Structure 1
Amino acid sequence: MEMEYSVGALASARSLQTFAYIYTSMATFWTYDYVCSIFDEWTFLLQSRWTKVKGLYIVTRYTPFLLFVSHLYLNYIPNEDPDKCQTINNISSCFSLISVICSECFFIIRTYALWNNNKIVLAGMLFAYLAVIVASVGILFSATANAPFVTSAIPGITGCYQSTGSVELFVPFVLLFALEFGLISLTVIRAIQSWRATNNPLYTVLIKHNIFYYACGLFFSLVNIFTSLLLQYAYNGMFQDFQVVTLAILATRMHLHLWHADRNLRGSDALMVFPMSDVSSAGRTP
């Protein structure tokens, strides 16, 4: 006997399938990027000296792997236990937060360097950064608790979703948008102030990287604000971790490019790493 399902059940099933496809595509994209950059990456890991920023690079680079493992499991587990779904989603959310926090750290340090280690600029960035982190963590976990996970009523459809999306989920992306808009503004102001007076190619690389990174961050934040507000079922969160993974790839790729550019400039001092803690040397005008 063929069972009939409600329109909502069918819509949620389609959203879960789309969500699973997107995560599988993201995992494939991350793997492809890793394979393409594996030579440059292992050159950096083996030949650069150990610094805090190298540790930050490793965490930023490999946290998405843990995120994919947990989320792909969440997407394909048998539809039996919503409590398990919520637990795994909380773990995945922690990995997402770690990844985006580390990615942003790279560019806060870079912006600090562009401003010649200006303590006032650093204090302002850190205050805004910590405020965004604290507010986002509180909103993210409270919103998840208020809109618990459910499973599809249709046999063969695996994965979990929130039956009623929480409107608060768009707020972290608004905060991230505001933070990145402030940081890109600082980068543009600094570029206008010292562009003609600086001939250092690494300084130019820093500015271009910062602007491109923040432009991508602003774009994805806007996308996630609208999807969180306008879409239902699993659709409202399908691009959230896509932003996280893309920013992690950009941050690590740009750091590798900067390190190799500095290495080529140093010539015989090829084993000298260009740590982000010392990146201010590229931002100083002669």
Structure 2
Amino acid sequence: MVTETEYSNSAIAAGKSLQLLAYIYTSMATFWAYEYICSLQQEWTFLHRSRWTKVKVLYILTRYVPFLLLITNLYTCFVPDDNPSKCRTWVNIGSGFSIILGICSQSFFILRTCALWNNNRIVVVSMLLVSIAFVVTSISISFAASATAPFATSHIPGIAGCYQVMSNIQLFIPFLLYFALALGLMALTLIRAIKSWRTTNGRLYVVLLKHNISYYACGLLFSVTNIVTSLLLHYAYHAMLHDLQFIVLAILATSMHRHLWQMDLHTHVSDANVRFLLSEFSTPDRMAEYLVPWGEV
């Protein structure tokens, strides 16, 4: 057993933080595998029966990139490596997967928000510009911080993994941007819901709004949590929930998409409420491109 006389308090605290990080990543992988197995039948039905579109490709990326992210994280946590340069490489790979996952899962709801606004030109252009600025800024901050900050490993035997020694200010900015983006999308969804609630009461419309609000609320909660941990905690503790946010949001985005697809699959377009609902999302000429693909992709 390691005692304080053998190692400094700082070394023991760093080792404990790496152990906790390994437990969290293991729990994340277990949870992801369990959720995937439980939804395997729905997954196969969706992939087999839905037609190929851009949104289906987006779904596949959102669904399967977490496997790569979890494999990278587990390797970093459990394979002993005292080389800081190699550790930096693996952390950058994991950060790349996290960014891809965050972009893909958020893209679902950016598209839905634009559809709710009937593809209003101002809303679409604004969402596009804000999203590009968000992605570029997040990537720049994440990789710039990784390139300049040193990495440290534990010298205690039996504890693998490494953590990034960096200024806390660099860690919380991407999550602050994510918080602002999610808050803006939620505001647009609520404004649209208030404006059209009396005239549009279709079940598909209601489910779409509930999905959006639930997703944004979860994203806001995780973002606040990660901002707080990034500012207040040290060692590996400050990053212990970073990837958990993207994993959970990916699960929500894909499961909500399958749910909407199943609803649309059993909805008859001849229904008057559905016809009115479809018209709320798009003009008649573009109806099939936006709402119907949410059921067909």
How does the TM-score come out when normalised to structure 1? Answer: 0.92
Following TM superposition, where does structure 1 have runs of at least 4 consecutive aligned residues deviating by more than 4 angstroms? 274-277
> Match for 2:90 among 82, 88, 91?
88
Taking the aligned partners of 2:239 and 2:40, their CA distance within structure 1 comes to 30
> Match for 1:219 among 204, 211, 221?
221
Superposed CA RMSD in Å reads 2.0
Taking the aligned partners of 1:235 and 1:48, their CA distance within structure 2 comes to 42
Change (3 A) 1:246 1:276: farther
User: Does 1:27 pair with 2:29?
Assistant: yes
Deviation per CA, 1:73-98, whole angstroms, max 9, x where unpaired? 00112132111110011111110000
Contact 1:19/1:235 (8 A) holds in 2: yes
> Match for 1:244 among 229, 243, 246?
246
Contact 1:144/1:166 (8 A) holds in 2: no
User: Does 1:278 pair with 2:290?
Assistant: yes
- Which residue is 2:125 aligned to? 123
Gap regions ≥5 residues in structure 2: 271-277, 279-286
Q: Which residue identity does 1:154 align to in structure 2?
A: I
> Match for 1:163 among 158, 162, 165?
165
Gap regions ≥5 residues in structure 1: 269-273
- Which residue is 1:174 aligned to? 176
Change (3 A) 1:277 1:149: farther
Residue 199 of structure 1, CA deviation: 2.5
Residue 187 of structure 1, CA deviation: 0.2
User: Does 1:71 pair with 2:83?
Assistant: no
User: What is the aligned residue count?
Assistant: 276
- Which residue is 2:18 aligned to? 16
Taking the aligned partners of 2:247 and 2:162, their CA distance within structure 1 comes to 21
> Match for 1:235 among 224, 237, 241?
237
Deviation per CA, 1:220-268, whole angstroms, max 9, x where unpaired? 0000000000000000000000000011000000000000000011399
Contact 2:145/2:166 (8 A) holds in 1: no
Change (3 A) 1:130 1:164: closer
Residue 280 of structure 1, CA deviation: 7.5
Q: Which residue identity does 1:118 align to in structure 2?
A: N
Identity of aligned residues (%): 58
Taking the aligned partners of 1:267 and 1:124, their CA distance within structure 2 comes to 31
Q: Which residue identity does 1:104 align to in structure 2?
A: Q
